[in-house]
Structure 1
Amino acid sequence: MVTTICRSCNAFCPIEVTIGQGFATNVAGNRNAPLFGGYTCPKGRALADLHRHPDRLMQSLKKQRDGSFIPISNDDLIGELAERLGVIIGRHGPRAVAAYLSGGVIEQPAASALMISFLEAIGSPMLFSASTIDQPGMTIGYALHGRWAGGRVRPENRDVFVIVGGNPINSKQYLPQNPGAQIKQMRRAGGKLVVIDPRRTETARLADIHLQPIPGEDPTILAGLIHLIIREGGTDRNFIERNATGFTALTKAVAPFTPDYVANRAGISANDLQRMAQVLIEARTGDVALGTGPSMATRGILSSYLALCVNTLRGFWAAEGDDAMHPSVLLPPRTFRAQPIPPYPAWGFGEKTRIGGFEPTPAGMPLAALPGEILMPGEGQVRALFLHGGALQSWPQHNRTEEALKALDLLVIHDVVLSPTAQLADFVIATKMQFELPAITVLNEIIANSGHAGYGTADPYAFCGPALVAPPQDADLMESWQTYYRVARHMGLPLKLTNWRAASDAKPALDMDREPSTMAIYELMCAGSAVPLDEVRRHPNGHVFEEMRSTVQPPEPGCPHRLQLADRDMLRELARVAREDPAAWRGIDARFTFQLIPGRMQNATNTFLKARGTLRWPYNPAFLHPSDIADLGIVAGDEVRITSRHGTVRAIVEEDAGLRRKVVALMHGFGTSRPDDDPRTHGTNVNHLTAWSDDFEEHTGMPRMGALPVSIAPSDNAASLCEPS
């Protein structure tokens, strides 16, 4: 029995792994590890099976002219990549090479550091990530509002926790260490959980108050809560006077969002809204946090901003003398102070894209521009792309994504199977899987340090440990970071290690003659860490370094900084919300009578390889309220066609009595390139229903991916062909 951490998501749950004959044979939660209580989810417990998946690639692949693939050795792969990249850069310049980071780097954190280092070495600014189609409002909202140098209130100290459009039981966001236990602990201590979600999720079932609004009305509800908090005298006036500006303008901006207006528009009870506001007013401490739901439904930046305003109006930030959240272990020490960090640029900096005139934001380069940057000829056209993530199953407007990927001169993907996206690539780099890689929790500290409140441990916990097993015999696999190091070495490029959302401003030069180990890369990523990496490695169960706990210090004398409650752009957008016709904005009419919301499954991680036998169904059902199923004249298990203004897909319906009427919940990360493929075999790809041009956010380009108007009709195959497996 050996110990490590699960890297299926950012929770990094400690696990025990049974090894037999060089293979992982069983995975269980590590009850000897601190904080998690032995918890791990079905994805973690399925890791041993994933490593032995029959479709796993044991060697990298090269595409032939006829579209077939042949194996290629890693040495030959590196040589060919270096040669082709050299030609592309020589003819078209470094901007012609781009890269995309997604969840695939969770288990390989050195990959992001080396990828960025490689792009900097060739002089390309074209780094994209999932951040601009997931929750860009999280970091952009902080830029507009400002941050609190003391951090957020620790989970166990919250009198109230409001979750808008999130489901931590599945996603682990905000409550990554055994989320169910954390919620129960908070409630036993007298805290209240409030959930705003059209679906009665696993988290909503534990809530004291659950509002089920019409999808997309999160800004309306948040503005209504602000209206009530101000009207009922529930603001912390002392906190506001010391630390914020814009109160009068915000008060005027939310005046139209009365309880009756919000209730009628959002489809909730005015009494429930008032009850929720009263819970917030009576709470001494708390937090308001957004999941991906409000972001997918558009106006995610506005929703994120308004949630921060609620926290500031109530003074829901860590106070002087409180224990701080997210103290450093693997990053340099932080000082927490009970004072604002003022707003900083949210846009208007960096190179504009040729497509849409988008600019970088704190969330990164806008992915919305990348397909067009590939397809539009001319100077600066992207001609080569490195992918970490299944673009065909995660990027909006599938057909445009496919067109763009096929148009590239060079497409390279890191993958463990020949996934739908990998089938389009020129080279598929067969990578090691997580038990074959050293493990470290530094990525969570980097994310938390950047202002993303959803991940990282509240306590000074860290883990670093070795790989558990060697790759299968005769396999020729690489770690993703080695691709960038070896190609750079082949091209004669020196690399200086740069970390995405860097732990340190220092950029140490890598030895290009002697390839470093992964652990050596980790040591460079953790330069100046609060606790030496060797000390962290001494603890096979991970460790809470009590000496690293931090107390929120008093503000600096005469601190002039203020949080901004009345950002001009946000109040202008809120005014547009108040003036608009809600039905026209939703796009609901006689044809499109349903709204689609995407989501996650507990037993599957987005586009990642899915373990056999862990899912109740081998596909992603389209969940509907039983009465809606009956109205369609079908039964659970039948096939339907779901149509948006942008496309049509086949799906299998199942009942969810906890779902709001006229809403369909369809989980993302499934399906193929062809919308007519059998959904019972492959699942349904929601991105056949979306379009980049649909109600996109002007700064990030993120389109409507939730609250999507659709129609649902029985298909020709509307008779159950099989039972759930």
Structure 2
Amino acid sequence: MTQTTASTCCYCGVGCGVLIEHDQQRILGVSGDPQHPANLGRLCSKGASLHQSSDPAARLLHPQLRLGKGLARSRIDWDSALDHAAEVIGRSIAEHGPDSVAFYVSGQLLTEDYYVFNKLARALVGTHNIDSNSRLCMSSAVVGYKRSLGADAPPCSYEDIEQSDCVLIAGSNMANAHPVLFGRLREAKSSRPEMRVIVIDPRRSETCELADLHLALQPGTDVALFHGILHILLWEGWIDREFIEQHTEGFDALKALVRDYTPTMVSELCGIHQDDLQQAARLIGSAPRLLSLWCMGLNQSTAGSAKNNALINLHLATGQIGKPGSGPFSLTGQPNAMGGRETGTLANLLPGHRDAGNLQHLHEVADYWGIPALPERPGLSAIELFEAVRNGRIKALWIACSNPAQSLPDQQLVQQALAICPFVVVQEAFATSETCQFADLLLPAASWGEKDGMVTNSERRISHVRAAIAPPGEARPDWRIAGDLAQRLEKQLRPGQRSLFAFDNPAQIYDEYKGLTAGRDLDCSGISHALIDRLGPQQWPFPAGAEAGKPRLYTDAQFPSADGRARFVAEHYQPPREKREARYPLLLNTGRLRDQWHGMTRTGTVARLFGSVDRAQLHLNPADMTSRRLREGQLMRVSSRRGNLVLPLHGDPAVASGQAFLPMHWGDRFLKGLGINVLTQPAFDPLSKQPELKQSAIRLDPVDLPWSCFLLVEGDVQQRFSALRPLFDSLDYAAFALSGNERPALVVRAAHASAADSDWLEQIDRLLGVDQGPVLAYDDPRRAIGKRVRIEQQRIQAIRLSGETLAADWLLAAWQSGEADSELRRWFLAPFSSPPGGARTEPDRTLCSCMDVRQSAIHAGLQRGLDLPGLQRELRCGNGCGSCLAEIRQLVDRHQQAAQAATQEAP
């Protein structure tokens, strides 16, 4: 019998409520929860396919241990695994001190998981060396809020999106990164056309669909832009002098600083027209209610803190904070990065929005935990931590629910560090994570739908994540793994004393944690699992005795600073660390795809999510391609000062000349060569320690790889992936993807400087199952061309093309159609590899992932005379999260323009 369990999505920081359909053994489906205030029933393509991400073949099911570098891991039981970990960590503490041990955790952990890890590191091991991958996405926002407003507290709510008059989106491609929120903005602007939207982004991203004004500034010049806008606001008198005088400090210093940021200087520096700068200032200065939304474009920078503060300066100068529809609102990247900030799971933080460098805060937490003291030396942030691993200072590294072998910049350094670290523990749900290969001890963790606890979304709303089914195999919840290790370490480090980790369930952990928030800006002392189950998700602060949380902060213009005032921060513009120069003439930007998330550890198991983009491509302005005599799809060696990758080119007019763009998701699992972050730089903001992942100087060099290969095989996708992937390490280029929906398949595209030998091809054929049975085969040894296709019951099961692959997309479409017609059979036995005349030679992309609508269906609808509303009615495209609407609208416009041109040319 099927049941429904209300829970929360495990992807971005929107924190959407989901309803999990299950039979207590398997998750069968998922839908949006119409009662959850974050999403009101909406889901994006990723959230709507969560039930498909539970592929058991991708999961880690049992503890595994290896007793030496280079040796294979063997399955062991939990007691032996944790006993071994405790023994090694205890020995490291005894021989090298507490700071020889470090923990690197994740913005995807639950609040209770964070709390136990924090207590384990700081109270028991005695180190502040615990950091989170949230360092890569939100630490600059933390610094920005604290410096300007006094506390790390986003003051707004999602409902402010509907109530604002002017929405400023800076460094965020909301349409892809936060589709549900973008949908709310789209609907708000549709119902209130007078609302104005300003988008600040070097690239004309999908979010620009809604923009009344797009400021395509030069990468990294945001501080200068915000100072330039404030210069105009001052000149025109569009500031709130009463608010400034009564509720802020530091305005005179900022006023003196921005005097130099004239429209002429700023327009030249930022690469925008003065008229656009003036228009932006006019929209901001005249708006009754101003809301700003930002994400990685501001945060991932060596000046990320300054960018955050320069933007918040605009709100303080105009008094646009603490009222409906107004305020500075950072968008969180991970589902519980906010919970990590609240529990202190960054090396410089402590639970309850305290600072690890503050003696009073250290004493408060130590007293609460009942221990003599906490270490006074601050811990290492992510980049510093992995450098310490590489130079031997860190002897034991515990990684939980994170994939640093994909996500951190300068991957050559990171993977060197992981390879030489004496003891690496990886606590992970998915065995396919790139980091798993470095684990000396591999521990299976519970995942979404299998664990229970709290998360906090971008608007400070706390939701209950509920388990629907039991974890598979021997997987355990993260808090229990950390707690079980801690109890073993206590026998060495605190013998005979009361356990600090006598937790039986997550509710008990939360009840202990919330005491550290009482009386603080984030007071959660009135919240419990039972209260959330009774009242639904609630926003903090929610002190004991409260009946509801606060939808917005600072409504009384009182700020959590020593004097109750907000602070203007006056800092000059500093350029990005790397600049274009003769050897590296392009500036690389990274960002998100609509249908993938982070390192694809989870989304990479869902075939349908590859339908829109199935390989990493370097996006380049078409004019730059023309001037360099480059062509679409051409393979290039893309090099930075740290490493290089071979990638195909994609002409993209959304990218400005002199710049390039890469989606950040592709790691070494799906793209040979250590992934996108082999190119990015580890330089970081001096205050937030957040790396500058957004700006890296690169160069392009053509590569001659005349021999190519295309593979497709359906069934047992994860197992075939594991078997095939190592065989491509010897080739110059290889890209891996999944395809299909009901019949998932593995798809491989590869190229090399010379033809593969016969032994390699025979291994491939065996793994594909095209070495025997009902297989059509053609070989041309002189040209090193070979073709194999396995057809059973009139359906293609597997394909291997080698030596020449012009027909790859045609064959992929034939496989998707489900029928192997006579034309295909004749083609396979013919002495050429191009597809039949008139056949489609480009991939049939999925434009609407929510409704699985392909580009060919859109074109067919347009040919039948359908307009956008007609396509939505008939095909249902765009009726899910709506992120595809911008691209579909472009196709509609191009079709209509072509039809009008044809009409005008007709006699």
Q: TM bucket by the smaller chain?
A: 0.7 to 0.9
Letter in 2 for 1:518: P
In structure 2, distance between residues paired with 1:553 and 1:322: 11
Equivalent in 401, 410, 415 of residue 414 of structure 2: 401
1:697 CA drift (Å): 3.1
Which one-letter code corresponds to 1:164 in the other structure? A
1:61 aligns with 2:73: no
Deviation at 1:413, TM superposition (A): 1.1
Describe the SS at the equivalent of 2:657: coil
3-state SS in 1 of match to 2:104? strand
Q: Distance in 2 between matches of 1:287 and 1:321?
A: 6
Counterpart pick for 1:382 among 394, 401, 411: 394
Deviations 1:536-563 (A, max 9, x none): 2247x76899951548664679994432
SS at match of 1:54: helix
Written as runs of structure 1 = structure 2, the 5 A alignment for 1:73-472 is 73-105=77-109, 108-119=110-121, 120-147=123-150, 151-152=155-156, 154-172=160-178, 178-185=181-188, 188-189=191-192, 190-319=194-323, 365-376=380-391, 381-388=393-400, 389-415=402-428, 416-441=430-455, 443-444=456-457, 455-456=458-459, 462-464=462-464, 466-472=466-472
Q: 2:227·2:310 contact (CA, 8 Å) conserved in 1?
A: yes
1:635 — aligned with what? 631
Structure label with greater radius of gyration = 2
Residue of structure 1 in register with 2:678 after alignment:
688
**Which whole-Å CA distance do the structure 1 matches of 2:38 and 2:487 have between them?**
42
Contact conserved, 2:90 with 2:492, CA < 8 A, in 1?
A: no
Q: Deviations over 1:7-31 (max 9, x none)?
A: 1222221222222472112222233
Kindly state the Cα deviation for residue 160 of structure 1 after the two structures are TM-superposed.
Answer: 1.5
- The one-letter code of the counterpart of 2:698 is V
Shift of 1:168: 2.4
For each residue in 1:271-329, what CA deviation from the matched residue of structure 2 results, as whole angstroms up to 9, or x when unmatched? 01100000011012213343211333431111111111111111111159999999xxx
2:767 counterpart residue number: none
Shift of 1:629: 3.3
Which residue of 470, 482, 485 maps to 1:484?
Answer: 482
Does the 8 Å CA contact 1:471/1:477 hold for their aligned counterparts?
yes
Contact preservation (8 Å) 1:637, 1:653: yes
Q: Where does residue 369 of structure 2 map in the other structure?
A: none
In the TM superposition, what is the alpha-carbon distance from 1:400 to its structure 2 partner? 1.4
Question: Are residues 1:533 and 2:529 paired?
Answer: yes
Residues 301 and 685 in structure 2, CA contact (< 8 A), matched pair in contact too: no
CA distance in 1, matches of 2:660, 2:224: 21
Please state how far the C-alpha of 1:428 moved relative to its aligned partner: 1.3
TM-score normalised by structure 2 residue count: 0.65
Deviations 1:96-147 (A, max 9, x none): 1111122341xx3322111111112121121122343334321212333234
Q: In the aligned structure 1, how far is the partner of 2:640 from the partner of 2:608?
A: 32
CA RMSD of aligned residues (A): 3.7
Other structure's SS at 1:436 match:
coil
Q: State the structure with bigger RCO (CA 8 A, min sep 6), 1 or 2.
A: 1
Among 667, 670, 675, the residue aligned to 2:666: 670
Write the letter of the residue equivalent to 1:89.
I
Listed one character per residue, the Cα deviations across residues 620-651 of structure 1 (whole Å, up to 9, x for unaligned) are: 32222233333443433332211112221122
1:159–1:191: 8 Å Cα contact kept in structure 2?
yes
Indicate the SS of the match to 1:654. strand
The CA deviation string for residues 303-359 of structure 1, in whole angstroms up to 9 with x for no partner, is 111111111111111159999999xxx99xx9xxxxxxxxx9999768xxxxxxxx9
The gaps in structure 1 that reach 5 residues or longer are 335-343, 351-358, 445-454, 497-507
Seen in structure 2, the aligned counterparts of structure 1 residues 627 and 479 have a Cα distance that, compared at 3 Å, is: same
Q: Distance in 1 between matches of 2:499 and 2:215?
A: 53
Distance 1:485 1:27, change over 3 A: same
TM-aligned CA distance change 1:658 to 1:57, over 3 Å:
same
Q: Could you tell me how far apart the structure 2 residues matched to 1:465 and 1:691 are?
A: 35
Distance 2:289 2:674 in 1: 42
Query: Residue 708 of structure 1 corresponds to which residue in structure 2?
Result: 696
Residue 608 of structure 2: which of 604, 613, 626 is its match? 613
Change in Cα spacing, 1:390 to 1:493, as seen in structure 2 (3 Å) is same
Q: Is the 8 A contact 1:495 1:510 kept in 2?
A: no
**Is the contact made by 1:152 and 1:316 (CA closer than 8 Å) also made in structure 2?**
no
Secondary structure of 2:113 counterpart: helix
The 8 Å contact of residues 104 and 397 in structure 2, kept in 1 or not, is answered as yes
The corresponding residue for 1:338 is: none
Amino acid at match of 2:217: P
Decide whether the 8 Å contact of 2:507 with 2:529 is kept in 1: no
After superposition, give the CA deviation of every residue in 1:184-209 in whole Å (9 maximum; x if it has no partner). 31563443221100122222211221
Aligned residues: 645
How far apart are the structure 1 equivalents of 2:286 and 2:582?
A: 44
Q: Distance in 1 between matches of 2:108 and 2:673?
A: 21
The percentage of aligned residue pairs carrying the same residue is 23
- Answer whether contact 1:135 1:300 (CA < 8 A) is retained: no
Gaps in structure 2 of 5+ consecutive residues = 331-337, 343-352, 360-375, 516-523, 709-748, 750-804, 810-842, 846-907
> TM-score under structure 1 normalisation?
0.80
> Which whole-Å CA distance do the structure 2 matches of 1:585 and 1:318 have between them?
35
Is the 8 Å Cα contact of residues 403 and 435 (structure 2) preserved in structure 1?
yes
Q: Distance in 2 between matches of 1:585 and 1:47?
A: 39
Aligned partners of 1:26 and 1:592: how far apart in 2?
48
Equivalent of residue 594 in structure 2, options 589, 602, 616 = 602
Deviations 1:661-692, CA, capped at 9 Å, x for gaps: 2221112232228xxxx83xx58722212343
- Is the 8 Å Cα contact of residues 645 and 673 (structure 2) preserved in structure 1? no
Instruction: Look up the match of 1:500.
Output: none
SS in 2 for 1:40: coil
- 1:60–1:73: 8 Å Cα contact kept in structure 2? yes
- CA separation of 1:253 and 1:82: change in aligned 2, threshold 3 A: same
Task: Say if 1:23 and 1:469, in contact at 8 Å, map to a contact too.
Answer: yes
